[in-house]
């Protein structure tokens, strides 16, 4: 099955014209905004990416022509809304290369997906003395749900260390995998460092011990081609708003054999078959985990974003962003007193850095006045910052529409930062 999937993808790529970043930029209306009278240079994609007009129009068209509740109506609009909603599920299934559309659950984002797995799959089976394994580079959303589960059950949270380059120490991961390990939850790509973790190898190591694995794919989904069957993960989560889609929508993939054993995470409409005061029976997958009226417009937007990424070419975007990362690393390394935090061999286009004793917030403020949007802070990875003995970094993160000229603008802006603090 995977071979056929890859062959079809290669056929599409062969027929697709070469990647044209200026043509891509023309699809994003917000890139024409002037920030403080300067052309916007948007380098905060790891926090939230921008939406192409195709996504904006798809969501707007849904509200203009099809807005209704899904699954519950027999009238025209409800049927149109349901069709559009479920079509987006099929697109997400293909995007992840999942086996079955029933394995694709709509959620608000990665955070809700992780909480769903923590509460419905992991927590019911946790006992005192059991262990949940995560890494030092996790986002708070992949730390706090496991702390809550451990605190409620007496289980213990174990943390895999990283090296100075910002890479997981695989020998330590293997050492920490033990007879008490019940679950592993790992970030696929670090939002603060850009590190691409060797997750396929780590999943195989965990599975050899009979331990299921969740991957936080929030940063991976817009940057790398995904195949959950090839990775072998048990769960995969990502957020639409980091992948050129609207906010408030995301996907949890779960292997069907796991999902079928899980109790509902929330109760309400659409996740039921029948309700009486004596007993409620639950709906089939995936609706069992989609209580209440869903974000239909967001789902339609996510489907359009997946179409867009496929159209411009996910492999082509990977190559383009790899070029941006190499260029940014070279140019930023030449800035006086600048230190890059996170120098892993395998990274996506994220560069975190510090300049001498200048606070990242001050850097961000000065750059903003030049029209340059970066992120400054701990990036919801405070334990990671503590690992490096720092409070925060400045972070430039790139997407499909960014250019080398924008990196030059960033470097010129940092020269102004150095002038101000001279």
Q: Is residue 53 part of a domain?
A: no
Instruction: Return the structure tokens found at 18.
Output: 């070469």
Please give the chain's pLDDT, 422 residues, in tens. 344 454 455 555 555 668 999 999 999 999 999 999 999 999 999 999 999 999 999 999 999 999 999 987 789 999 999 999 999 999 999 999 999 999 999 999 999 999 999 999 999 999 999 999 999 999 999 999 999 999 999 999 999 999 999 999 999 999 999 999 999 999 999 999 999 999 999 999 999 999 999 999 999 999 999 999 999 999 999 999 999 999 999 999 999 999 999 999 888 878 877 888 888 888 788 999 998 999 999 999 999 999 999 999 999 999 999 999 999 999 999 999 999 999 999 999 999 999 999 999 999 999 999 999 999 999 999 999 999 999 999 999 999 999 999 999 999 999 999 999 98
User: 282 — phi, psi (to 5°)?
Assistant: -100, 155
Q: Are residues 281 and 207 in the same domain?
A: yes
CATH number at residue 37: 3.90.1150.10
The answer to whether position 5 is within a domain reads no
Domain shared by 84 and 149, yes or no = yes
In a domain, 119, yes or no: yes
Give the whole-angstrom CA distance, residue 418 versus residue 407. Answer: 17
Q: Would you list the DSSP string of 334-370? A: TSTTEEEE---SSB-SEEEEEETTB-HHHHHHHHHHT
**Domain finish residue from 310, 338, 359:** 310
Cα(187)–Cα(214) distance, integer angstroms: 8
Residues 217 and 153 in one domain: yes
Which sequence positions are flagged as catalytic?
380
Same domain, 263 and 141: yes
Same domain? 236 vs 121: yes
Q: How many domains are contained in the chain?
A: 2
Let me know whether 65 and 177 are in one domain: yes
Locus of tokens 């509902």? 264
Q: Are 302 and 88 in contact (CB under 8 A)?
A: yes
pLDDT at 90: 98
Shared domain for 295 and 212, answered yes or no, is yes
Q: How many CB atoms lie within 10 A of CB 186?
A: 24
Asked if residue 74 is part of any domain, the answer here is yes
pLDDT of residue 271: 80
Residue 122, domain extent = 58-310
Residue 52 forms part of a structural domain: no
Residue 342 Rama label (left phi>0; alpha psi -120 to 50; beta): left
What order of strands is seen across the sheet that includes strand 393-397?
Answer: 338-341, 350-355, 393-397, 375-377
Query: Are 34 and 119 within one domain?
Result: no
User: Which residue, 295, 310, 325, sits at the end of a domain?
Assistant: 310
Q: What is the pLDDT of residue 4?
A: 47
- Does the residue 3 lie in any domain? no
Q: Do 331 and 260 share a structural domain?
A: no
Same domain, yes or no, for 230 and 266?
A: yes
What pLDDT shows up at residue 7? Answer: 46
Q: Where are the alpha helices (DSSP H) in 97-239?
A: 110-117, 144-153, 170-176, 199-208, 228-231
Domain-embedded: residue 142:
yes
Domain harbouring 210, CATH code? 3.40.640.10
Domain boundary among 290, 310, 330: 310
Do 275 and 362 have their domain in common? Answer: no
Taking alpha carbons only, the member of 286, 258, 99 closest to residue 183 is 258
Residues 158 and 135 both lie in one domain: yes
Q: Beta strands 393-397 and 375-377: pairing type? A: antiparallel
CA separation, residue 32 to residues 107, 285, 364, 367, 384 (Å): 31, 43, 21, 18, 35
Instruction: Please answer whether residues 365 and 414 qualify as being in contact, where contact means their C-beta atoms are separated by less than 8 angstroms.
Output: no
Residue 17 pLDDT:
65
* φ, ψ at 387 (rounded to 5°): -60, -35
Give domain status of residue 2, yes or no.
Answer: no
């Amino acid at each position: 099955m995977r071979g056929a999937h890859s062959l079809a993808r290669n056929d599409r790529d062969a027929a697709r014209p070469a990647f044209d970043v200026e043509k891509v930029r023309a699809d994003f209306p917000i890139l024409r905004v002037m920030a403080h009278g300067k052309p916007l240079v948007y380098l905060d994609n790891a926090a939230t990416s921008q939406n192409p007009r195709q996504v904006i129009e798809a969501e707007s068209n849904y509200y203009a022509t099809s807005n209704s509740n899904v699954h519950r109506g027999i009238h025209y609009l409800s049927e149109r809304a349901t069709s559009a909603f479920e079509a987006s599920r099929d697109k997400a299934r293909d995007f992840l290369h999942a086996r079955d559309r029933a394995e694709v659950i709509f959620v608000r984002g990665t955070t809700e997906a992780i909480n769903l797995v923590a509460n419905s799959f992991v927590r019911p089976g946790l006992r005192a003395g059991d262990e949940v394994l995560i890494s030092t580079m996790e986002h708070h959303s992949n730390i706090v749900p496991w702390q809550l589960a451990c605190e409620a059950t007496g289980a213990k949270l174990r943390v895999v260390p990283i090296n100075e380059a910002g890479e997981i120490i695989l020998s330590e991961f293997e050492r920490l995998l033990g007879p008490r390990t019940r679950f592993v939850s790992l970030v696929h790509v670090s939002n603060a460092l850009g590190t691409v973790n060797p997750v396929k190898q780590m999943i195989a190591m965990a599975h050899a011990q009979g331990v299921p694995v969740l991957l936080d794919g929030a940063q991976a989904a817009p940057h790398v081609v995904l195949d959950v069957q090839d990775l072998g993960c048990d769960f995969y989560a990502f957020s639409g708003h980091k992948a050129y889609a609207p906010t408030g929508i995301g996907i949890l993939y779960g292997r069907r054999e796991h999902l079928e054993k899980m109790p509902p995470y929330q109760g309400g409409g659409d996740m039921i078959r029948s309700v009486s005061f004596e007993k409620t029976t639950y709906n089939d997958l995936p609706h069992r985990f989609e209580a209440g009226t869903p974000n239909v417009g967001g789902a339609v937007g996510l489907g359009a974003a997946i179409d867009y990424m496929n159209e411009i070419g996910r492999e082509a975007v990977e190559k383009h962003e790899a070029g941006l990362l190499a260029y940014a690393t070279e140019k930023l390394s030449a800035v006086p007193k600048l230190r890059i935090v996170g120098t892993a061999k395998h990274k996506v286009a994220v560069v975190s850095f510090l300049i001498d004793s200048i606070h990242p917030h001050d850097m961000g403020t000065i750059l903003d006045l030049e029209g340059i949007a970066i992120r400054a802070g701990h990036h919801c990875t405070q334990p990671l910052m503590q690992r490096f003995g720092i409070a925060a970094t400045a972070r430039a993160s790139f997407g499909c529409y960014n250019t080398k000229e924008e990196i030059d603008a960033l470097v010129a802006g940092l020269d102004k930062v150095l002038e101000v603090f001279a």
